[in-house]
Structure 1
Amino acid sequence: MKNRITLLFLLILSLHHLNAQSLEKKWSKTAFSKDAAFLASEEAVRIAENVLLYQKSNGGWGKNIAMQKVLSAQEKKEITASKNNLKETTIDNNATVQELTFLANVYRYHPNESYCAAFLKGLGFLLEAQYENGGWPQFYPLQNNYSSHITYNDDAMANVLFLLKKIMDERETFPVKIPSETMSKIEYSFSKGIEIILKTQYKQNGKLTIWCAQHDEFSLFPAKARAYEFPSLSGKESATLVLLLMSLEKPSAEVINAVEHAVKWFKQNKVTGFKEAIVSGDKKLIADGTAPPIWGRFYDLETNRIFVSDRDGIRKSSYDDIGFERRNGYAWYTYEPAEVLKKYDQWKKKFVKTIPDKNYYVVSKDGSGDFESIQHAVDQCRSFPDERITLFIKKGTYHQKVKIRQWNTNITIIGEDRDATVITFDDYFDKADRGRNSTFFTSTFSVEANDIVLENLTIRNTAGDVGQAVALSITSDRVAVVNCSLTGNQDTLYLGNEGKIYIKDSYVEGTTDYIFGGATAYFENCVLHSKKDSYITAPSTPQGSRFGFVFNNCRLTAAEEVSKIYLGRPWRSFAKSVFLNSELPAATATEGWHNWNKKEAEENAFFAEFSNSGKGAKPDLRVKWAHQLSRKEEKKYTKQNILKTEINSNWYENL
């Protein structure tokens, strides 16, 4: 008997809920109506007055309100009295967006200034509710629960951005005249919204996938909502986000990349051969070989397995494992990604370039080249090519990390103008947070492949004076850096491994150990600029190497406040660093070299000079364990001796 009463109660509750939903759905349909006859009617005016009445004092609206309902005098009085109850204002379930859309459409036919004022006030509510990072919470003012997360759930944030996009697209033809200052805020708000969408696209084993229904407003990680709404990949909400990205007239390389990966995920994770159906009043997933693809609402973040859950918050794999109420009262499957796939091919033809296999490519931020991203260009190059591939980088500031991997050999990357072709990033030791070896994860530009030439580029690490922060890292063989500017602070240039590296006509600046590593490197006609009292080189030359770092015809400079710079110190005991025919500033330490408090290094390290000039050239005052080369000894420090290799021994000659 008790079970029968419970079932009856649930049935009555369900019928009441369905009736309320019906009224709300009717309003949602009415709110977006484009029927000119209706919008010009007195009925539309009556409903618009209700919309004004329901608007809260902060400009927003509550959700699940049937605005088309005829209100009694008492109801109007109660609604007016609740205008300062701001706990209800939200973007959930189309709230605020649909009211603003309706007011704008009615205003076109009934230019009542109260409609215009209400619209601008509601728009102000949306702009104020946005987080600085670009996301929107479900409710504003913020509530102390899951609704404070960045909410893609039920397309809440996407609906806001679609409205802002409509305003920007229509501008002068939009029914409500938007003040120029407000339009600027809308443009900024929209760009931040797209930015946070790109940032929150979930990476699974390093690869972009889709989105969660909620993301933590601070960490941006997938977040939980109600007990049965776990952190997960969302087939439904992600589809709308992709459609938003695909609607952009000039998508960036990042947007195109996001769409490409999301579409790939949708294709790989569709469910075929099944459909949802109501069987004897109960929702089921049944076999049907003719059914169109369907997608789950929730996918496991790591395995991509679809799951469902009940109000008890326990994940289940099947409808049969959850109760009647949640099985039938929630949308566990969706067909919405099908709309993405339907539009994808046409979108791809327009925005995804098919790059022919060739030996010369242009990278340009404005989209006029083959690629907009340097990394994308490198990734598309043939592996281990027989003929050299050239990437020409047009002027611009490229805020990205670039890595030339071991298989991307035989590439020349040449900038249009050294000072105007800038590759920059701001990683540093603590930010990388990869343990004791974090330094090696901070590089703005990394070269791991042999036979690479970098020319006419500025490569920066802009982290500031915050510890180890590499601008350029080279850990391969036969690499040339010609007419480049390498800027940073500590550890600007890492020359690792045991390869041969040629650096010519370039500028290198930093603070401490800003040229370091174990490679054999020949610097010719370079400027080395010290920004603080510290050490220029920190070689870790392997035992048995004939040469370490060799500087010939270089000019050393120092910032005005700098008074004591050492030419080098031994990172490892067999360090080698030699300065030949170079100009040394007055700020050069009289002793020239430092032992890094390693007495054994004085026996094994080889630090030397020959025929240097300038106020800092004081060979007679150097530490006793350093060397002044004789003319005979200097003769072995030729470019050929230092850079020749068993493979392609004269690789450096035509640079």
Structure 2
Amino acid sequence: MKNFFLLVTFIVSSFSQAQVHDKKWASIVDSKEGPWFASDEAKNIAENVLLYQRNIGGWPKNIQMQLPLSEASKQQLLSQKNATDDLTIDNGATTQEMLFLSKMYRQTKDKRYEKAFLDGLNYILAAQYDNGGWPQFYPLKKGYYTHITFNDDAITNILAILKELKNNTNYFSITPSKSKLNEITTAYNKAIECILKTQYKQNGTLTAWCAQHDELTLEPAKARAYELPSLSGKESAKIVLTLMAIENPSPEIIFAVNSAVAWFEKTKITNLKIVDQTNSSGKVMDRKVVVSENEPPIWARFMELDTNEPFFCDRDGIKKKTLAEIGEERRNGYAWYTNEPKEVLKKYPAWLKKIGPNANTKANYVVVDASGKGDFTSIQEAINAAPAFPDQAVTIAIKKGTYYEKVKVHAWNTKITMIGESKENTIITFDDHFKKMNVGRNSTFHTYTLLVEGNDFVAENLTIANSAGEVGQAVALNVNANRVRIQNCNLLGNQDTLYTSGEGTKNYFKDCYIEGTTDFIFGDATVLFENCTLHSKKDSFITAASTPKDTEFGYVFINCKLTAEKNIKKVYLGRPWRSYAKTVFITCHMEDHILPVGWHNWSKPEAEQTCFYAEFQCSGPGFQPQKRVSWSKQLDVNEIQKYTKETILSDNHKNWYQKN
């Protein structure tokens, strides 16, 4: 009888072990926490996990940790402890092992599991780029492995761990030190910022993400030969779910989610069905796509960056329009379609409901849509509904369309951020001009299309135009506020397109296109223009600064392009509207429409003694420093040192000019 019970015990134990060994490692890791994680079987697997971990904390990928190891294999793993060439976050590596160790520690309190978990955490934190992303392998491995890797949910898996730890949810049995928790919070926030920055803009409209992004430019990048730069229907789903899981999301996060959901709706496929023919072991032998009406939605794994059109590749990297056009090996051995975004669309209504009642979020994020699908149909209505002097920024997301209205951001409407869906297709325009206003000699200042009087204003991805035509003074954008940032916008007009005013105010224009005829950039504010295009539409003057006396900086143009209409050949860089005008061009490219003399005194010889016009290392046929007027200046390497963004735009509000 005793032998019988021993035999039964042996059979039950063997059967249990076989059950576990037949499972995939990922399935074992995802097993519900409980007593099994204190069993001898679990402890044996944990010993393997500890053996596979390298000294710097990471694990290699595609290891079935539950499989028994021979003594020779164990010795080999011990000899590889200092190796670092194959450590990764790909295919669940490192994150899966950490989750398993946490479950083991909760049941056993074995300090070795706690240490291994924390070493894995340190590995993850060390691997993060300064921009918030993670490479596929760390230490860095040459090739596409250095790209920021959303592929197979690598980064979202990391964020799931960091989120639970920073929020102290007790999901993990191991609690890092307070200082480590601060590192975790910083890493998490940086990663969310990276996600927001890598969301791809298609003709100015936010869409989704690529499976991998260049670690320097953040642009979609290529991985393997058949994994080309594209928009991913698969990886983007987990990214959006990660953003939707954030409590009290910022307006930028809300905008990112809304934009991605709109893209999922736009790109879903409902008339195709994937049909697999498998062998007796379940291996796919042939995969076909057939037309079938009213199918549940699916999405292509790879879509063109500019058109959303699905494409497919063999190992030769040549794009094909249909799955049938690629070879059997890749056709059957890769997931070309996915249904993962359905979970986003399923949870989206509840997410909207959750953030909707939040008064702070609702008050600080609204949508303007001319078609009536937003919170407002007019921009001015949205501004008028915004709280006065709010504690947080008020974001007005403006859908594409032409908004024919005269818009004013009042002085009490501080911290307004207006973000267009696309600068080419989100247009604010009006047609007032000097003669039309007819309110006296100062009629110019009433002609604006958009007037900004509220401090800390931001505009992105917009076209702001005065459509009056060549009828005299007609302002498109009138900025009479401090700490104003205008980025990736078109400012269109003729005479007096852009007016920047307010003694002591500072503004920042980046990546903008500004066109006009006479004095199309004028005023007395301190303004830095960076990477902008200044386009002259007739022979005249670009700038007319009226910088106040004793003000250190006036208009500063850095890395800008000066272009002109065809046959325009007599354009001055500037003339002094007031006698102490200051205007400086630094490393700008000037086409041949710029006159050799460069500057004009506005028939005020005395202004030659008081204004400050200078250049530094500009280029192009329009840059002829030896022929410039004698009262202008070419800066030397010592004088240029003070012309930094920080110095020009310094303010009590630190780094206000940075994009959040």
For Structure 1 versus Structure 2, the TM-score category normalised by the shorter chain is 0.5 to 0.7
Note the 1:160-171 alignment, pairs <5 A. Answer: 160-171=158-169
The residue type paired with residue 322 of structure 1 is I
- 545, 557, 581: which one aligns with 2:550: 557
- Is this contact kept in 1: 2:518–2:540, CA < 8 A? no
Q: Distance in 2 between matches of 1:599 and 1:302?
A: 41
- 313, 320, 324: which one aligns with 1:316: 320
Q: Which one is further off, 129-138 or 65-74?
A: 65-74
Residue in structure 2 matched with residue 409 of structure 1 by the alignment: 405
Please, what TM-score do these two structures have when normalized by structure 2? 0.63
What is the CA distance between 1:598 and its match in structure 2? 5.9
Q: Distance in 2 between matches of 1:68 and 1:600?
A: 77
What is the CA distance between 1:94 and its match in structure 2? 0.4
Aligned length in residues:
499
Larger radius of gyration: 1
- 40, 52, 55: which one aligns with 1:54: 52
Cα distance, 1:241–1:25 mapped onto 2, change above 3 Å: farther
Residue in structure 2 matched with residue 304 of structure 1 by the alignment: 308
Aligned to 1:507, the other structure's residue is in SS state coil
Please, what TM-score do these two structures have when normalized by structure 1? 0.64
Cα distance, 1:405–1:323 mapped onto 2, change above 3 Å: closer
What is the CA distance between 1:575 and its match in structure 2? 6.3
Q: Distance in 2 between matches of 1:48 and 1:458?
A: 55
Q: Distance in 2 between matches of 1:323 and 1:541?
A: 55
Residue in structure 1 matched with residue 216 of structure 2 by the alignment: 218
- Is this contact kept in 2: 1:495–1:519, CA < 8 A? no
What is the CA distance between 1:29 and its match in structure 2? 0.9
Q: Distance in 1 between matches of 2:309 and 2:122?
A: 41
What is the CA distance between 1:509 and its match in structure 2? 6.3
Q: Structure 2: which 5+ runs fail to align?
A: 1-19, 279-284, 420-444, 468-472, 486-490, 509-515, 529-535, 554-569, 582-594, 611-660
Q: Distance in 1 between matches of 2:203 and 2:525?
A: 41
Q: Distance in 2 between matches of 1:407 and 1:449?
A: 16
- Is this contact kept in 1: 2:60–2:88, CA < 8 A? yes
Aligned to 2:168, the other structure's residue is in SS state helix
Residue in structure 1 matched with residue 235 of structure 2 by the alignment: 237
Residue in structure 1 matched with residue 261 of structure 2 by the alignment: 263
Q: Distance in 2 between matches of 1:259 and 1:159?
A: 19
Q: Distance in 2 between matches of 1:329 and 1:275?
A: 17
What is the CA distance between 1:349 and its match in structure 2? 2.1
Q: Distance in 2 between matches of 1:500 and 1:295?
A: 45
1:103 aligned to 2:101?
yes
Note the 1:76-475 alignment, pairs <5 A. Answer: 76-171=74-169, 174-279=172-277, 281-351=285-355, 367=361, 369-371=363-365, 382-383=377-378, 389=384, 391-392=386-387, 394-395=389-390, 407=403, 409-416=405-412, 450=448, 452-457=450-455
What is the CA distance between 1:61 and its match in structure 2? 0.6
Aligned to 2:288, the other structure's residue is in SS state strand
1:44 aligned to 2:42?
yes
The residue type paired with residue 367 of structure 1 is T
Residue in structure 1 matched with residue 504 of structure 2 by the alignment: 507
Q: Distance in 2 between matches of 1:332 and 1:61?
A: 28
What is the CA distance between 1:169 and its match in structure 2? 2.7
- Is this contact kept in 1: 2:364–2:395, CA < 8 A? no
What is the CA distance between 1:161 and its match in structure 2? 1.1
Aligned to 1:88, the other structure's residue is in SS state coil
- Is this contact kept in 2: 1:481–1:506, CA < 8 A? no
Q: Distance in 2 between matches of 1:497 and 1:541?
A: 7
1:485 aligned to 2:482?
yes
Aligned to 1:228, the other structure's residue is in SS state coil
What is the CA distance between 1:123 and its match in structure 2? 0.4
What is the CA distance between 1:295 and its match in structure 2? 1.3
Q: Distance in 2 between matches of 1:82 and 1:522?
A: 67
What is the CA distance between 1:283 and its match in structure 2? 1.7
Residue in structure 2 matched with residue 71 of structure 1 by the alignment: 69
Q: Distance in 1 between matches of 2:93 and 2:328?
A: 28
Q: Distance in 1 between matches of 2:136 and 2:446?
A: 46
List per-residue Cα deviations over 1:572-618 (Å, max 9, x = no partner): 59968468xxxx99xxxxxxxxxx9969967xx45599xxxxxx9xx
- Is this contact kept in 1: 2:251–2:364, CA < 8 A? no
The residue type paired with residue 303 of structure 2 is Y
What is the CA distance between 1:336 and its match in structure 2? 0.8
- Is this contact kept in 1: 2:304–2:311, CA < 8 A? yes
The residue type paired with residue 238 of structure 1 is S
Aligned to 2:82, the other structure's residue is in SS state coil
Q: Distance in 2 between matches of 1:387 and 1:133?
A: 34
Cα distance, 1:558–1:405 mapped onto 2, change above 3 Å: farther
Cα distance, 1:120–1:374 mapped onto 2, change above 3 Å: farther
What is the CA distance between 1:35 and its match in structure 2? 3.4
